[in-house]
Structure 1
Amino acid sequence: MRKRVLYILLLWLFADVYFFSAVTTLTANPIAHLAYWSVDILIVLGVVFTMMVRSRGAAPRAISRVMGLMLLSAVPKIVGTPVLLMEDIVRAFNGFPPRSAWVSELALIVAAVPFLGLVFGLTKGRHHYVVHKHTLYFDDLPDAFDGFTLTQLSDIHAGSFTSEKGVNKGIEMVNAQHSDVILFTGDLVNNKASEMTPWISYFAKLQAPMGKYSVLGNHDYGDYVQWENAGVKAANLISLKNVHKQIGFRLLLDEAVTLSKNGQTISLIGVENWGSTFHKYGDLEKAVKNVPDDQFKILMSHDPSHWEAITLNHLKHINLTLAGHTHGAQFGIELFGFKWSPIKYVYKQWAGLYKQKDRYLYVNRGFGFLGLKGRIGIWPEITVLTLRKSQESRARS
């Protein structure tokens, strides 16, 4: 982690030095030059300080603000620097004449685009909910469930919320989907069950005719905060499980339930958190023990790394897995079918729909936010999946 941060700081420094050449081309004012470097030095000191005190429980708001300021300073310069690099290639063939003012102005204009995007993401992006709709086709979906809809939520992280209006907006958008079930794939809180207390009445308004179901995520166990003793930590988890009941979620702990419709059934399975880099609490074998092999199965598992590591090659065919966890890093680009985020270098499946061996995985980008107090390019998500029988299976039936 520290090594990755060092690489980012070095890239930022390179862009900083390069971009400063555009500033000096446009103005010789020493106050402007001093201000340019003073801001960056203060931000770097803030980054170093938060890294040093993070292990001792640095204030989340301070960390979030430093992260936001770092992005505001670094990303626009990194984006604008290629304009200056291209000019320097041309200058090299001409004996390095003075830098052109209009090219420096162009670099500033190019940098302004991500800067404005960052400002929006850090101020409005945290509640800029986007509904992602997909239709999935299956050969073995029971006839009664042809057209069955589910809304998936993930990573609420109630401890980060500050806006009642923003949260209520998202909940109203969920209910407006009118799905048959609502499925929540973990991380209700950042660390403590009490974080959810102000928001229980809001999330209790979620409605689905065939029920609301949930699983736990890695943050729900309280593993990232210091407790007085093990008993207090255990009591927090018990309290959190009770919160799920209060908001109407049926919490699945390595178990399966049967959903029935017009005399036919499918299985909904929920496992505790299982991650390749986090705690492996979940037990898929236990969860599917009493599920018939030929039953259509939907699995809720918080961490998408569980899919390729365990689920994909499981003897019991799990048709659809729902996960979250990554948040899409809350930072990236999704435009015209192109999708990128730095989290892709950590998680192979990090946002959206994936398919292998006639088995689907959907990774929700998260309803809330953590660390960075905003969303930049990767917006908070409400997922709506419609299950349909494939044309081949329809013809056979």
Structure 2
Amino acid sequence: MKERIVTLSLVLFVILLLLDLYTFKGVRLLTEGVEKASVRTVISTLYWLFSISVYVGLAWALLNYDQYRIPGQSHYFFTVNALVMMSLLSKLVFVLFHGMEDIGYFVTNIISKAFASGKVSEGGDAMSRGKFLTYVGAGLAAVPFGAIAYGMVKGRYDFRVVRKNLTFKNLPKAFDGLKVVQISDIHIGSFPQEHPSVQKAVEMVNQLDADVLLFTGDLVNNLADETTGWVEVLKQMKAKHGKYAILGNHDYGDYVPWTNTEDRRKNLDGVKQANRDMGFDLLLNENRILEKDGEQIALIGVENWGRPPFPQYGDLRKASEGTEQAPFRILMSHDPSHWDGEVLDTNIDLTLSGHTHGMQFGIEIPGVKWSPVKYKYPRWGGLYQEGKQFLYVNRGFGYHAIAGRIGMPPEITEITLKSEAEEKLLADQLS
């Protein structure tokens, strides 16, 4: 595994270096009209300072690769990843336009020599066209550069509340108006230690005055020790009628090369205990019956169930035992693939998932909802419906791999359950 990482990093280093050399050619073209040599020097220096910082970061990450799982270290590795992405994408966009004139000139030169006599024109038009394209490239390159910079500095901490009202015929009258607040994919090891954004998000959760709070997995990136210093913050989240949690794929420590199974078991036990110390009732292929005014609904929680290569620890049949007579059932399942894989063959009314993070990158504006993750997970974010069954996929509380979120802010979900019978009664009274 490490050999593959080293190889990929070296290839990436070479690609970045070649991009830098060609991009700098464009930078010099853009600044050739600047009269003051000192200004040109400052621009060139800033360019290479940024590029060299990326190389230094990449080299540091490569030399310290074995430490990226250590609590408190993940943040630095993920920051390097974001800087590399920023450098790579912005320079690729720039080179795409800056290189058009060079490619065109090269092709024209070849054709002219092959089929025409006389010299190839080297007039000012080619240069002016090339400079114009280079300016266009610089302007467009600023888009990914600025977007990733924003995603790193603010986007990953810019929590939003997404509210949904769902109406069901079979929801018991006593639970009409039940406010379910969902969080998912905390990935607490990714946050800088004591970062105030976590406390801010906890306060946002509490302002919603939840009836029940449901956490759909991935408390950590890999290790239980990531929760050190955070349990007291996260346990402040409140709900009037209970807090419930399940495990996500990262919580099992499956991405760590354990030397023995006992260490892996202790780590998993530590993650489970951290959930409980935060005040969550951890459902491990289990269920709870929620009662109110003599009526009941079922809350089911499965362990992680994902399509290969993700493990399938979840046992929906075991988790659902005893809920068959419940008039309404809510399922917590970390991976939304489970909904199509098994859940649609049941009569579970509402499934809550996470896992995808919306890839931490996408576009969600009126009329447009897109993220590259859709090609892996067709149901990747927001609300989905098949017949009478609903799935909601939370876009995640934290972040992983890349220290940033671009167009895909961290999410706290508020779902209010409505009884169709109650809505009809109210409509009749108002008519």
Give the TM-score taking structure 2 as reference length: 0.78
Which of 126, 133, 141 is the matching residue for 1:97?
Answer: 126
Equivalent position of 1:63 in the other structure = 77
Equivalent position of 2:283 in the other structure = 252
Matched residue of 2:181: which SS? strand
Task: Write out per-residue CA displacement over residues 343-392 of structure 1, whole angstroms, 9 at most, x where no aligned residue.
Answer: 22221211111111221111111111222122222111101111113479
Matched residue of 1:112: which SS? helix
Distance 1:78 1:388, change over 3 A: farther
Identity of counterpart residues, as a percentage?
Answer: 44
**Structure 2 CA distance, aligned partners of 1:89 and 1:232?**
57
Equivalent position of 1:146 in the other structure = 176
The more displaced of 116-125 and 212-221 is: 116-125
Which residue type is aligned with residue 276 of structure 2? K
Q: Is the 8 A contact 1:300 1:323 kept in 2?
A: yes
**Structure 2 CA distance, aligned partners of 1:80 and 1:200?**
45
**Structure 2 CA distance, aligned partners of 1:86 and 1:339?**
32
Shift of 1:300: 0.3
Matched residue of 2:126: which SS? coil
Shift of 1:312: 1.4
Matched residue of 2:241: which SS? coil
Equivalent position of 2:320 in the other structure = 288
Q: Is the 8 A contact 1:275 1:306 kept in 2?
A: yes
**Structure 1 CA distance, aligned partners of 2:22 and 2:266?**
54
Q: Is the 8 A contact 1:334 1:377 kept in 2?
A: yes
Q: Is the 8 A contact 1:352 1:362 kept in 2?
A: yes
Which of 216, 219, 224 is the matching residue for 1:193?
Answer: 224
Which residue type is aligned with residue 298 of structure 1? I
Equivalent position of 2:331 in the other structure = 299
Equivalent position of 2:380 in the other structure = 350
Distance 1:180 1:12, change over 3 A: farther
Which residue type is aligned with residue 257 of structure 1? R
**Structure 1 portions without partners, runs of 5+:** none
Equivalent position of 1:27 in the other structure = 31
Matched residue of 1:382: which SS? strand
Distance 1:163 1:336, change over 3 A: farther
Which residue type is aligned with residue 305 of structure 1? S
Matched residue of 1:68: which SS? helix
Distance 1:232 1:25, change over 3 A: same
* Map 1:1-397 → 2, pairs under 5 A: 22-28=26-32, 43=54, 60-78=74-92, 97-100=126-129, 101-161=131-191, 162-276=193-307, 277-293=309-325, 295-314=327-346, 317-390=347-420, 394=424
Distance 1:232 1:268, change over 3 A: same
Q: Is the 8 A contact 1:80 1:107 kept in 2?
A: yes
Number of aligned positions between the proteins: 392
**Structure 2 portions without partners, runs of 5+:** 33-39, 109-120
Task: Write out per-residue CA displacement over residues 147-203 of structure 1, whole angstroms, 9 at most, x where no aligned residue.
Answer: 111110111112222234211000000001112110000011122222212111111
Q: Is the 8 A contact 1:140 1:393 kept in 2?
A: no
Matched residue of 1:198: which SS? coil
Matched residue of 1:97: which SS? helix
**Structure 2 CA distance, aligned partners of 1:363 and 1:54?**
32
Shift of 1:134: 1.1
**Structure 1 CA distance, aligned partners of 2:281 and 2:268?**
15
Aligned-residue CA RMSD (Å): 3.7
Which residue type is aligned with residue 374 of structure 1? G
The more displaced of 175-184 and 30-39 is: 30-39
